[in-house]
């Protein structure tokens, strides 16, 4: 490539990086101010958003003048071995352009509105910290050029969503619904991990999004339909979950427990459309698979029908808007499957602006309607209702019982299974399993080459033990410290299982994983011990609400919980991705057990966080907050 075009590509790539850095730097800048310093915090946010709009417009203009050529830029390589490369990669095309411009404008509008809406709120600073972090994650997702970069933004966005749903953290329902939302998010997280795992085995390397067309040709050439079917399903599932499509639609209205302005930017406009972005970005891989198109159309149609029926009968404004937005996204799924991508982009922008407007004005509309009912009340006229309409009404008001069905057949079996292992609450069992795990870890790392064939069932056994420990921790109602201890023990057994499964693993890869998890465990253990010294009873049978008295300790435990699940704040994030590659593409049961283990470790860690620090305080000398917002 001539030097001129190469320099231009580097300049455009650096501008993309700046779009991610601006909100991130603003996030760190707002940390320096106290909650009462509203004016400087608001100015930092406004400046960041103005710069964000300027960058989005400047890059879109540059891209158009350059002939609409896609920009493909690799920033740096975080880790590289002979079989794995973890690189930060950026990509810009028409999909990115629309999502970037829409996001920049909506962030500015919501930030301006929130300056007044959140005035004198106890969480003013916390709100804008989270919004800026979400802006960073959103830009990272839409500008990502490979699955690894996208997954970093995907994880950060999920945490921000959790924090804003539980924003009124002294109340019961925000804490409960935040856990419901993060439970659904974890399904999408693990699905993306599995898609990256199988894609790595398909291509024998990490690939970028521009190489998805080549990956499709490779899948067809290898005559291995299962691999391509598995990858596509693991691409569709996270899109369905994140965009609240059938049957995961019911988490969306529950997520509106946060402030109205955060509901507007998250669940009305940007966050809920990330599933649409994922399908658009991965379209080159599945565009020739008729079954995948039919599946997406069926899911979109089911969501559009069910969500529309629900929205028409719901008594609350926010719930009506949430289900209406989900129904429109269902139509977008159909448009993507049919190949109408420019129509999807226009549909996304229109729906995002409309839902943001509706949510921001909803308090004023409610106020007007209340006054209108008081002064202009007219008695309703009773009309005969057909059996068909009555049936649809009941289905709509009950939300098609999707919540009940998902709980009964999705969550309850795992909670019941975890409760079977209640004997693990014993300290002797806890210490014995930990010692045994360390011993097996050392044995797995130092095993001779001839030992590999003699322990073919060992990885499965060790991964089963890890899954059992995580299930117990997830369902435990006993001592919080014991449940936290089993999370570390479970990670030890995961690491031992991978060591027994692979002929050789680099020590640096083990260090990435183990160091991040160990640091997170020690931090969380310190926080729980500190709370236990204050109150001897910190069981997981109820909400304790210690965020009233130990806000800083609660923040440290939040960091510990994120580190325990491999959030991108420690080296464990890279370590988990690397260890996935040591499970072979034909080891379906082993990878399923690893996926379930990583699924429940997050739920267990965040359940401990919510039970100890969130919800109403159990002591009567603290005010009892409203149940919901």
DSSP string, 553-613: HHHHHHHHHHHHTT-TTSTHHHHHHHHHTTS-TT-HHHHHHHHHHHHHHHHHHHHHHHHHH
Span of 57-66, 263-272, 448-457 with lowest mean pLDDT: 448-457
Domain shared by 337 and 430, yes or no:
no
Lowest mean pLDDT among 55-59, 66-70, 355-359, 383-387: 383-387
Answer yes or no: do 473 and 327 share one domain: no
| Rounded-to-10 torsion of CA 7, 13, 14, 15 | 110
Residue 224: inside a domain: yes
> How many other C-beta atoms lie within 10 A of the C-beta of residue 403?
16
| In-domain check, residue 394 | no
In a shared domain, residues 369 and 456: no
**Per-residue pLDDT at 622:** 64
Do both 62 and 119 map to the same domain?
A: yes
- pLDDT-derived band at 235, boundaries 50, 70, 90: very high
Query: Helix 387-397 vs helix 290-313: angle between axes, to the nearest 10 degrees?
Result: 100
Confidence of residue 5 (pLDDT cuts 50, 70, 90): low
Q: How confident is the model at residue 424 (pLDDT cuts 50, 70, 90)?
A: confident
> Is 24 found in the same domain as 145?
yes
Check whether 111 has a pLDDT greater than 50.
yes
Alpha carbon of 434 to those of 302, 428, 437, 438: distances in Å?
47, 10, 5, 6
Give the three-state DSSP class for 418.
helix
Confidence of residue 226 (pLDDT cuts 50, 70, 90): confident
Q: Specify the number of domains making up the chain.
A: 2
The tens digit of pLDDT for each residue in 278-305 reads 999 999 999 989 999 999 999 999 999 9
Residue 399 located in a structural domain: no
439 with 556, same domain: the answer is yes
Tell me if 384 is assigned to some domain. no
Is 628 domain-assigned?
no
pLDDT of residue 452: 53
pLDDT at 223: 57
The predicted pLDDT at position 78 comes to 86
104 and 162 assigned to the same domain: yes
Task: Single out the residue of 472, 560, 575, 488 nearest to residue 524, CA to CA.
Answer: 560
The number of beta carbons lying within 10 Å of the beta carbon of residue 546 is: 25
* Res 626: pLDDT: 64
Asked whether residue 408 is assigned to any structural domain, the reply reads no
391 in a domain, yes or no? no
Task: Give CA–CA dist 556/523, Å, rounded.
Answer: 7
Domain match, 507 and 360 both: no
As a whole number of angstroms, the distance between CA 289 and CA 255 comes to: 34
Looking at the structure, tell me whether residues 425 and 370 fall in a common domain. Answer: no
Average pLDDT for the chain: 89
Residue 61 lies in a domain: yes
Does residue 426 sit in the same domain as residue 359?
Answer: no
Q: State yes or no: pLDDT of 48 exceeds 70.
A: yes
Instruction: Find the domain containing 310 and state its range.
Output: 3-374
Q: Tell me what the mean pLDDT of segment 481-502 comes to.
A: 93
Q: Are residues 337 and 441 in the same domain?
A: no
Q: Residues 474, 415: contact at Cβ < 8 Å? A: yes
Please say if the pLDDT value at position 121 is more than 60: yes
Last residue of a domain, one of 374, 392, 407: 374
pLDDT at 3: 47
pLDDT of residue 1: 42
Both 467 and 361 in a single domain?
Answer: no
């Amino acid at each position: 490539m001539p030097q001129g075009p190469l320099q231009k590509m580097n300049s455009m790539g650096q501008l993309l990086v700046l779009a991610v850095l601006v909100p991130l730097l603003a996030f760190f800048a707002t940390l320096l101010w106290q909650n009462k310093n509203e004016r400087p915090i608001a100015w930092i946010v406004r400046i960041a958003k103005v710069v964000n709009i300027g960058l989005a417009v400047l890059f879109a203009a540059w891209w158009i003048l350059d002939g609409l050529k896609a920009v493909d830029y690799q920033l740096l390589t975080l880790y590289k071995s002979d079989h794995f490369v973890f690189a930060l990669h950026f990509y810009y095309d028409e999909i990115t352009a629309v999502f970037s411009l829409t996001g920049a404008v909506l962030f500015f509008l919501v930030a301006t509105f929130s300056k007044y809406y959140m005035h004198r709120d106890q969480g003013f600073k916390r709100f804008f910290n989270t919004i800026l972090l979400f802006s960073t994650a959103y830009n990272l997702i839409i500008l990502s050029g490979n699955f690894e970069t996208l997954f970093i933004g995907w994880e950060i966005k999920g945490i921000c969503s959790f924090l804003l749903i539980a924003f009124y953290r002294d109340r019961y329902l925000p804490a409960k619904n935040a856990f419901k939302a993060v439970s659904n998010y974890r399904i999408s997280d693990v699905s993306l991990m599995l898609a990256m795992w199988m894609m790595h085995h398909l291509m024998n390397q990490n690939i970028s999004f521009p190489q998805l067309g080549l990956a499709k040709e490779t899948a067809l050439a290898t005559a291995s339909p299962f691999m391509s079917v598995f990858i596509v399903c693991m691409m569709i599932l996270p899109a369905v979950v994140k965009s609240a499509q059938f049957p995961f639609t019911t988490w969306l209205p529950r997520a509106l427990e946060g402030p109205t302005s955060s509901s507007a930017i998250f669940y009305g406009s940007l966050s809920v459309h990330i599933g649409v972005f994922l399908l658009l970005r991965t379209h080159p891989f599945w565009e020739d698979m008729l079954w995948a198109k039919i599946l997406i159309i069926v899911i979109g149609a089911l969501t559009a029908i069910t969500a529309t029926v629900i929205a028409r009968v719901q008594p609350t404004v926010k719930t009506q808007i949430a289900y209406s937005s989900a129904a429109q996204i269902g139509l977008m799924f159909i448009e993507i499957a049919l190949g109408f991508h420019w129509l999807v982009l226009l549909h996304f922008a229109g729906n995002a602006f409309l839902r943001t407007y509706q949510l921001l004005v909803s308090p004023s509309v409610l106020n007007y309607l209340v006054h209108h009912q008081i002064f202009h009340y007219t008695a309703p006229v009773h009309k005969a209702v057909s059996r068909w309409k009555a049936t649809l009404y009941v289905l709509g008001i009950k939300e098609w019982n999707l919540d009940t069905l998902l709980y009964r057949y999705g969550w309850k079996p795992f909670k019941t299974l975890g409760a079977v292992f209640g004997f693990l609450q014993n300290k002797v069992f806890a210490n014995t399993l930990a010692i045994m795990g360390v011993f097996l870890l050392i044995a797995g790392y130092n095993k001779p080459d001839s030992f590999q064939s003699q322990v073919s069932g060992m990885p499965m056994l060790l991964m089963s033990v890890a899954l059992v420990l995580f299930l117990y921790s997830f369902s435990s109602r006993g001592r919080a410290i014991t449940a936290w201890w089993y999370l570390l023990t479970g990670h030890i057994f995961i690491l031992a299982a991978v060591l027994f499964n692979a002929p050789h693993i680099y020590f640096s890869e083990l260090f990435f994983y183990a160091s991040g998890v160990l640091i997170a465990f020690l931090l969380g253990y310190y926080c729980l011990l500190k709370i236990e010294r204050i109150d001897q009873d910190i069981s997981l049978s109820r909400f304790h609400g210690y965020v009233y008295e130990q806000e800083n300790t609660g923040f440290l435990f939040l960091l510990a919980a994120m580190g325990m699940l491999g959030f991108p704040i420690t080296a464990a994030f890279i370590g988990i991705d690397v260890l996935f590659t040591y499970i072979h593409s034909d080891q379906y049961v082993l990878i399923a057990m690893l996926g379930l283990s990583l699924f429940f470790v997050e739920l267990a860690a965040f359940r401990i966080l919510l039970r100890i620090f969130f919800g109403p305080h159990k002591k009567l000398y603290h005010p009892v907050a409203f149940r919901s917002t």
